[in-house]
């Protein structure tokens, strides 16, 4: 399933701090929408820290970074406080947004199969169209690759 060239599925979710965030409400900014498995795990922490460190560079390109996992707002708040993160983290506790973006996938660890979020990022243009998607993301170098794509958009 690819979403490139298609309208990004809109959503409204609770975000860190208990407020809501609506994807279409972020226009006309470009949106870097990244899905990650779980707060306070090694890869997810590195990814969130990378996006936090590059926040000013994304803002200079008129882009907003928004992370989504199925963790609760309370867990997001603890995650942000623990690591000094400065990105929006939204709580898709029901998994509806994960399903809409096709990131709720079968995974395998130590021979055990289970469902979880496949680390993925979507670059959404100012008009709400998905310009680029990355699935099966490996964290090292990813933030820089996304920033380069934002600059080119």
* Enzyme catalytic residues: 44
- Label residues 2-37 b or e (16+ Cβ within 10 Å = b): ebeeeebbebebbbbeeeebebeebeebbbbbbbbb
Those residues with Cβ within 8 angstroms of residue 78's Cβ, 6 or more apart along the chain or in another chain:
39, 40
- First-to-final CA distance of the chain: 22
Query: What separation in angstroms does the CA of 27 have from each of 31, 64, 108, 125?
Result: 8, 10, 37, 9
């Amino acid at each position: 399933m690819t979403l490139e060239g298609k309208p990004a599925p809109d959503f409204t979710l609770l975000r860190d701090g208990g407020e809501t965030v609506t994807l279409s409400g972020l226009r006309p900014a470009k949106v870097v929408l990244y899905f990650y498995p779980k707060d306070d795990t090694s890869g997810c922490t590195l990814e969130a820290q990378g996006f936090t460190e590059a926040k000013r560079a994304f803002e200079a390109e008129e882009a907003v970074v928004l992370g989504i996992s199925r963790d609760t707002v309370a867990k997001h708040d603890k995650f942000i406080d623990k690591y000094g993160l400065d990105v929006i983290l939204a709580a898709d506790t029901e998994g509806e947004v994960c399903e809409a973006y096709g990131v709720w996938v079968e995974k395998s660890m130590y021979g055990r199969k289970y469902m979880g979020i496949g680390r993925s990022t979507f670059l959404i243009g100012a008009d709400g169209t998905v310009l680029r998607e990355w699935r099966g993301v490996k964290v090292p170098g990813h933030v820089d690759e996304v920033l380069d794509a934002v600059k080119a958009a």
